[in-house]
Amino acid sequence: MKADIEKMKESLWNHQLDKLGCDEERVIALFHYYNYNGNQDMYDWCDWEDVDNMVGEDYLVLTDEEADDMVREYIEDSVWAFTPSFLSSYTGIDEEVFKVLQEKYEDANTAIRSMIHEFDDFVDDAVRTDGRGHFLSPYDGKEHEVTVYNTTYYIYRVN
């Protein structure tokens, strides 16, 4: 009887996973994130479709490489918003220049980006200073880590 119940559970699990719109591991990672962060009641109110819809809408569930790529892209698009002192340290240009650019020009991003010589170092230092969550999670600025089937996913709340 117990073996039959386990088979039924597995069958139901597989049936639900087959209906998912995104990668099943990402949905499982989000379920684990909720479960391990004091949200055990999620299983009571949330079905697979709800969680599936949250991936990409309310949460980013990314591999390490995907998170690195996304944070780099975000920083490239928002370099204009960095503090003048941080920008000055990577360009050798006086902070006052960046203050003027940020105050006077709506789209100074391309100009400021072109002044940064070692952009990889710039990105690495920004992430080291503030963390990827600061850039990828506008909701709370946090990064959460969950491992599913030997793959580590990083979860960012975006909404």
- Using DSSP's 3-state secondary structure scheme, residue 159 falls into coil
Name beta bridge partners: 155: 61, 144
Q: What pTM was computed for the model?
A: 0.73
Q: Could you write out the DSSP letters of every residue in 48-66? A: HHHHHHHBTTTEEEE-HHH
Residue 107: predicted pLDDT? 85
For residues 112 and 41, give the distance between their C-alpha atoms in angstroms, rounded to a whole number.
47
Residue 79: predicted pLDDT? 94
Q: Of 111, 156, 109, 153, whose CA–CA distance to 134 is shortest?
A: 156
Residue 104: predicted pLDDT? 86
- The full set of domain ranges for the chain reads 2-62+141-157, 67-134
Q: Are 158 and 59 in contact (CB under 8 A)?
A: yes
Q: What residue ranges of the chain have pLDDT lower than 70?
A: 1-23, 35-57
Residue with tokens 């909701």: 139
Query: How does the average pLDDT of the chain come out, rounded?
Result: 80
Residue 9: predicted pLDDT? 46
